[in-house]
Chains A and B, each alone.
Chain A
Amino acid sequence: EVQLVESGGGVVRPGGSLRLSCAASGFIFEDYEMSWVRQTPGKGLEWVSVINWNGDSTAYADSVKGRFTISRDNANNSVYLQMNSLRAEDTALYYCAKEGGYWGQGMLVTVSS
């Protein structure tokens, strides 16, 4: 059974940094691309970033480009999202997602002074 478990969320001040982690199990992790998606409470889904199977190709939404970095560790079946220069508008529930459409339960990130 595919399982994706996010961690690392919390409250951070504007301008601060946070690193989200996603621990994957139930599939051959290194065979699949992984993504991060976020959702502001009461709003729609926003795709954030994707990383290919071995980490040498990434893509970002314009809203986070230059501030967020996606990475992965295939030895530890984990994908990460390093979030720098955080803004109030980055406040959201962040989901880890596997290629093919499997989702974690989400991790709340709140950017507030």
Chain B
Amino acid sequence: QAVVTQEPSLTVSPGGTVTLTCGSSTGAVTSNHYPYWVQQKPGQAPRTLIYDTRNKHSWTPARFSGSLLGGKAALTLSGAQPEDEAEYYCLLSYDGPRVFGGGTKLTVL
């Protein structure tokens, strides 16, 4: 199965902007991989922020956005808040099987 890669950790200052990326061992990530971005805080169930590249849920803060960037899926956080400190996972679809990335631990400091 494919391997999905994410930055292990990133740090952003409060109010700052950060971009998390999600790459695939099979080549460029496209909309046909239907990228998801999932946020998880300690002790909580996962919560999907973005699905199908850029679609948001009603609970997704406006400061989060999804896109494709340089052959990868990307999650951009503009105006980071302390409550955004969490683990972020991307999920890619491979015409049947799905694969999660290893997650990015985002610190807001």
User: Taking beta carbons and an 8 Å cutoff, which residues of A are in contact with B?
Assistant: 35, 37, 44-47, 50, 57, 59-62, 95, 100-106
Are A61 and B89 closer than 8 Å at their CB atoms?
Answer: no
Main SS of the interface on chain A? Answer: strand
Q: B87: which A residues are within 8 A, CB to CB? A: 44
Q: Are A45 and B46 in contact (CB under 8 A)?
A: yes
Q: Of the candidates A61, A101, A103, which one forms a contact with B97 in the assembled complex, judged by CB atoms under 8 Å apart?
A: A61
Q: A103 and B91: CB pair below 8 A?
A: no
Q: At the interface, yes or no: B63 with Cβ under 8 Å from chain A?
A: no
Beta-carbon contact of B96 and A59 below 8 Å: yes
Given contacts A45-B38, A61-B1, contact A35 B45 (CB under 8 A): no
Residues of B within 8 A of A59 (CB): 96-98
Do B1 and A62 touch across chains, with their CB atoms under 8 A apart?
yes
Q: Tell me the complex Cα distance, A30–B1, Å.
A: 28
Nearest chain-B residue to A93 (Cβ)?
B45
B interface residues with partner A (beta carbon < 8 Å) = 1, 36, 38, 40, 45-48, 51, 57, 87, 89, 91, 96-103
Q: Which residue of B lies closest to A98 (CB)?
A: B48
Alpha-carbon distance between A9 and B3 when the two chains are bound, in angstroms: 29
In whole angstroms, what is the CA distance A35 to B103 when docked? 19
Q: Is the CB of B45 within 8 A of A95?
A: yes
Decide: A47 and B97 in contact? CB cutoff 8 A. yes
B102 contact set on A, CB distance < 8 A = 44
CA distance A102 to B51 in the complex (A): 10
Cα of A87 to Cα of B71 in the assembled complex, Å: 37
Contact A95 B98 (CB under 8 A): no
Residue pair B97, A105 in contact (C-beta under 8 Å): no
Query: Which of A46, A61, A101 is close to B36, meaning CB atoms less than 8 Å apart?
Result: A101
Residues from chain B with a CB closer than 8 A to the CB of A45 are 38, 40, 46, 89, 91, 100, 103
